[in-house]
């Protein structure tokens, strides 16, 4: 048997992508294709009082203008659902405006340019109501949700944190703020819809094909078997393509009305309002410890934005519940209802911003104790999950910290801020731990033998740039004992076997385990047949008791070295290392790419990203990549990621865990801690821009 699982195989879809043969949602070409452009609201809260589209309709090439006055009937919005991404998403169904940038009209024309020009000519008047846009406003509406977005309790309490804080030898009580952020994937949200009789085909940039399939069918009030959703290639998602947006629904509605295919693509500017974003947060972390560094209490409380239009409770405090031991514990999550666009999941929702606070607070405690921050973390390593009181499936955080320290040269770090000056630069090192919940979802996969040396894999799983095509080919090739080039992987069609899709770092393990099951079943059948051609098998997987008996997490340790300009306060990342326990690695090359990508995003969260809200009007103001800053190559000179060799037998049959989101968890805190070590600036409001560093430089 050829052993290819885990090998650094090049992406099998790479050639198609670099030669332009990979068909993305906006690339679909079909006869008589028309182009749609969305017009969006210019108020944040209120209603439309009049809409005049007469001039737009008179423009050359315009085929239709759809508004709330003539939009076809659709299923109504459902506030709560077991699968929130499969709910109806009616468009232009009301004159009510719930957020700035909400779609209010669709113009369809013979050309993209004509549609855009006509959309700008629609005259709309509004009645604007007073909205709530400031997460820190004195009169803000605060909610105490019972559960977070994944159904876990929003709050937990063990022991007495107040007494622990009052009697502790050393304490930390700090507040941290994280800003609004936008996904800004390379590919904009896009959909191309075409009806053939009663059959609708929608090519759309969606991460969850089955959820999109159900959403579109339900919204349009058509049977699901009359809808096919296709998402073969997706140019990045990061959670921003979990829901269905107006592009898909409006394209389908317009295509049915016009009886011809319609393509709708969001502009980069529209992506900041029409789609979801990461909500801003205010977090308070309290730590109580003995003089030798033993934690006696941990409290982590957060307040984050939710929308009036739809509730979203990001699990910000979730990582605090399992990362360190302490007898007295408190976590709590509140939301502030604002009339802003709906927030949603964004790469490592919860952990990404929760660890920005917790892991900086741990560093603050280490400074107060005059203790090495790695030693402090090792001292408070739990023997079991501190709140569930069940064993960990695997727990290699200690190994990640120790191996990372040795590789990074942590022993050369000076504990005193400002002690290492190289020319104009003050140089410092920082460390932070990473933890990310490991998830297994129900999935199916089908494998068919084409010949003795070739097979076809089918599932509706998506590849959002993570390497899904490649790792599934590796699994099939190894288990069926056929050449890698003999495996054809077909993904992203709703007619294929149902999977959970790409999200939550559950895709590779869930779908890979289902595929492993299918291949083993097929292999057993092959042993009993002479001619393999045409033989097929279905594989399935779903979470069982292992996810109740064991606490399932992936882990990591981040090490960062930064330089701070002694005169200007400018921060420059000099190098960074991440060491991770993500179970069995399915492809060393794509996994490393995912972990490094997450780490870079962590750097971005620490130093760059900030989606500014104009609290007068409820709009995001920096809605393009010129003003919404993300790192470029010069900002990340040397980033390396290493995965430990681990097999988690309790996670799934492959022994793997998710890696896509692990890399961002804690990465930004390592940078902030390095900044403090470099110059003594303890900045608790992200991003850490030079104006926040300068006061510490005297």
CATH class of 31-130+183-272: alpha beta
Q: According to the model, what pLDDT value does residue 532 have?
A: 83
Cα atoms found within 13 Å of the Cα of residue 107, Cβ hemisphere only: 29
- For residue 324, the cross-strand partners are none
**pLDDT-based confidence at 1, cuts 50/70/90?**
low
Q: Are 539 and 519 in contact (CB under 8 A)?
A: yes
Burial of 292 (0-12, 13-18, 19+ CB in 10 A): exposed
CA dist 381 and 398 (Å) reads 8
SS (H, E, C) 45-97: CEEEEEEECHHHHHCCCEEEEECCCCCCCCCCCCCCCCCHHHCCCCCCCCCEE
Tell me the per-residue pLDDT of 464-515, one tens digit each, with 9 for 90 and over: 999 999 999 999 999 999 999 999 999 999 999 999 999 999 999 999 999 9
Could you tell me how far CA 293 lies from the centroid of its own chain?
34
Tokens read off for 316: 């910000």
661 catalytic residue (yes or no): yes
Instruction: Spot the catalytic one: 232, 364, 458, 661.
Output: 661
| Residue 7, CA atoms < 13 Å, CB-side half-sphere | 15
* pLDDT the model gives residue 527: 80
Residue 599: what pLDDT?
Answer: 98
Gap between the Cα atoms of 390 and 601, Å rounded: 32
Instruction: Give the model confidence (pLDDT) of 47-77 as tens digits.
Output: 999 999 999 999 999 999 999 999 999 999 9
Q: Are 231 and 461 in contact (CB under 8 A)?
A: no
Compute and round to an integer the Cα radius of gyration of the chain: 26
User: Position of tokens 């190098």?
Assistant: 575
- Kindly report, residue by residue over 135-191, the tens digit of the pLDDT: 999 999 999 999 999 999 999 999 999 999 999 999 999 999 999 999 999 999 999
Q: How far apart are alpha carbons 90 and 77 in whole angstroms? A: 6
What architecture (CATH level 2) is domain 14-21+441-542? 2-Layer Sandwich (3.30)
- Would you say 45 and 130 are in contact if contact means Cβ atoms under 8 Å apart? yes
Task: Give the dihedral sign, CA 18/22/25/27.
Answer: positive
- Residues 17/245, Cβ–Cβ less than 8 Å: no
Helix or strand or coil: residue 689? coil
Each residue of 244-254: pLDDT tens digit? 999 999 999 99
List b or e across 632-663, with b for residues whose CB sees 16 or more CB atoms inside 10 angstroms: eeebbeebbbbbbebebebbbebbbbbbbbbb
Query: Among 241, 263, 229, 255, which residue's Cα sits nearest to residue 189?
Result: 241
What is the number of residues in the chain? Answer: 698
Report the distance separating Cα 664 and Cα 356, nearest Å. Answer: 10
C-alpha atoms less than 13 angstroms from C-alpha of 197 in its C-beta half-sphere: 2
- Summarize pLDDT for 526-537 with one digit per residue, the tens: 887 777 888 999
Q: Phi and psi of 196, rounded to 5°?
A: -120, 95
591 pLDDT tier (thresholds 50, 70, 90) = very high
Is 384 exposed, middle or buried, given 0-12, 13-18 or 19+ CB atoms closer than 10 A?
middle
Tens-place pLDDT, residues 290-342 = 999 999 999 999 999 999 999 999 999 999 999 999 999 999 999 999 999 99
- The answer for 239, left when phi > 0, alpha when psi is -120 to 50, beta otherwise, is left
Q: Which residues pair with 665 in a beta bridge?
A: none
Region 240-268 average pLDDT: 98
In angstroms, rounded to a whole number, what is the distance separating the alpha carbons of residues 44 and 52?
A: 20
| pLDDT, tens digit (0-9, with 9 covering 90-100), for 403-427 | 999 999 999 999 999 999 999 999 9
For the chain, domain boundaries: 14-21+441-542, 31-130+183-272, 156-181+277-438+549-697
The DSSP output letter for 161 is: H
Q: Tell me if 31-130+183-272 shares its fold with 156-181+277-438+549-697.
A: yes
Q: Using omega within 30 degrees of 0 as the cis cutoff, is the peptide bond preceding 687 cis?
A: yes
Q: Would you say residue 255 has pLDDT above 90?
A: yes
Cβ-Cβ contacts under 8 Å for 14 (sequence gap 6 or more): none
DSSP-assigned letter for residue 277: B
Residue 193: band (very low, low, confident or very high) from pLDDT cuts 50, 70, 90:
very high
Average pLDDT score over residue span 609-625:
97
CATH of region 156-181+277-438+549-697: 3.30.365.10
Going by C-alpha positions, the residue among 275, 281, 297 that lies closest to residue 380 is 297
Report how far apart, in Å, the C-alpha atoms of 10 and of each of 181, 467, 590, 683 are.
Answer: 32, 9, 8, 41
Q: Tell me the torsion sign for CA atoms 143, 239, 216, 108.
A: positive
pLDDT tens track for 90-106 = 999 999 999 999 999 99
Mean of pLDDT values over 369-395: 98
Q: Give the mean model confidence (pLDDT) for residues 600-625.
A: 98
What average pLDDT does range 535-564 have in this prediction?
97
Please compute the mean of the pLDDT values over residues 9-16 and round it to a whole number.
97
């Amino acid at each position: 048997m050829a052993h290819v699982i885990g090998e650094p195989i090049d992406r099998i879809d790479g050639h198609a992508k670099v030669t332009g043969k990979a068909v993305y949602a906006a690339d679909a070409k079909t006869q008589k294709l028309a182009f749609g452009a969305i017009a969006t609201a210019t108020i944040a809260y209120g209603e439309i009082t009049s809409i005049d589209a007469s001039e737009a309709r008179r423009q050359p090439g315009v085929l239709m203008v759809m508004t709330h006055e003539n939009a076809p009937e659709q299923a109504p919005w459902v506030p709560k659902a077991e699968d929130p991404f499969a709910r109806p998403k009616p468009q232009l169904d009301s004159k009510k405006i719930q957020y700035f940038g909400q779609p209010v009209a669709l113009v369809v024309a013979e050309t993209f340019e004509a549609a855009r020009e006509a959309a700008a000519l629609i005259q709309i008047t509004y009645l604007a109501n007073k909205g709530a846009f400031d997460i820190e406003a004195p009169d803000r509406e605060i909610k105490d949700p019972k559960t977070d977005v994944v159904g876990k309790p929003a709050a937990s309490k063990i022991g007495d944190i107040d007494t622990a804080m009052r009697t502790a030898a050393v304490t930390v009580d700090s507040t941290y703020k994280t800003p609004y952020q936008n996904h800004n994937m390379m590919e904009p949200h896009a959909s191309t819809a075409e009806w053939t009789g009663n059959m609708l085909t929608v090519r759309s940039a969606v991460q969850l094909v089955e959820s999109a399939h159900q959403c579109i069918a339900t919204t349009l009030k058509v049977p699901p078997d009359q809808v096919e959703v296709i998402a073969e290639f997706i140019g990045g998602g990061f959670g921003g393509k979990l829901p269905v947006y107006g592009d898909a629904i409006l394209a389908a509605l317009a295509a049915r009305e016009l009886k011809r295919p319609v393509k709708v693509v969001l502009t980069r500017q529209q992506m900041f309002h029409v789609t979801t974003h990461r909500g801003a947060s205010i977090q308070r972390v309290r730590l109580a410890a003995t003089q030798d560094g033993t934690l006696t209490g941990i409290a982590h409380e957060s307040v984050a934005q939710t929308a009036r239009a739809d509730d979203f409770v990001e699990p910000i405090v979730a990582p605090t519940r399992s990362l360190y031991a302490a007898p007295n514990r408190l976590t709590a999550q509140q939301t502030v209802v604002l009339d802003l666009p709906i927030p949603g999941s964004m790469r490592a929702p919860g952990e990404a911003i929760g660890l920005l606070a917790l892991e900086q607070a741990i560093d603050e405690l280490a400074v107060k104790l005059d203790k090495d921050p790695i030693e402090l973390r090792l001292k408070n390593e739990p023997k079991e999950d501190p709140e569930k009181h069940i064993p960990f499936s695997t727990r290699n955080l200690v190994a990640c910290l120790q191996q990372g320290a040795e590789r990074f040269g942590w022993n050369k770090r000076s504990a005193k801020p400002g002690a290492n000056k190289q020319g104009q630069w003050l140089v410092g090192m920082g460390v932070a731990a990473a933890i990310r919940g490991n998830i297994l979802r129900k999935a199916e996969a089908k494998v068919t033998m084409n010949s003795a040396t070739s097979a076809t894999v089918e599932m509706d799983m998506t590849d959002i740039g993570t390497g899904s095509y490649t790792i599934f080919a590796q699994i099939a090739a190894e288990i069926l004992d056929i050449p890698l080039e003999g495996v054809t992987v077909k993904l992203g069609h709703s007619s294929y076997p149902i999977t959970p899709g790409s999200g939550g770092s559950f895709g590779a393990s869930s779908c890979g385990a289902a595929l492993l099951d299918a291949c083993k079943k097929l292999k057993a059948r092959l042993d009993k047949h002479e001619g393999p051609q045409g033989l097929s098998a279905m594989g399935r997987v779903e979470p069982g008791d292992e996810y109740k008996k064991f606490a399932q997490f992936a882990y990591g340790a981040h090490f960062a070295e930064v330089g701070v300009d002694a005169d200007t306060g400018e921060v420059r990342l000099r190098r960074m290392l991440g060491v991770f326990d993500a179970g069995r690695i399915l492809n060393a090359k794509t996994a490393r790419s995912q972990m490094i990508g997450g780490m870079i995003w962590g750097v971005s969260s620490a130093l760059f990203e900030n989606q500014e809200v104009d609290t007068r009007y409820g709009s995001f103001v920096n809605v393009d990549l010129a003003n919404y800053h993300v790192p470029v190559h010069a900002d990340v000179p040397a980033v390396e990621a290493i995965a430990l060799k681990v097999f988690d037998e309790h996670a799934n049959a492959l022994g793997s865990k998710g890696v896509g989101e692990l890399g961002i968890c804690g990465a930004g805190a390592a940078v902030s801690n390095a900044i403090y070590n470099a110059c003594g600036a303890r900045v608790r409001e992200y991003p850490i821009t030079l104006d926040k560093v300068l006061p510490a430089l005297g």
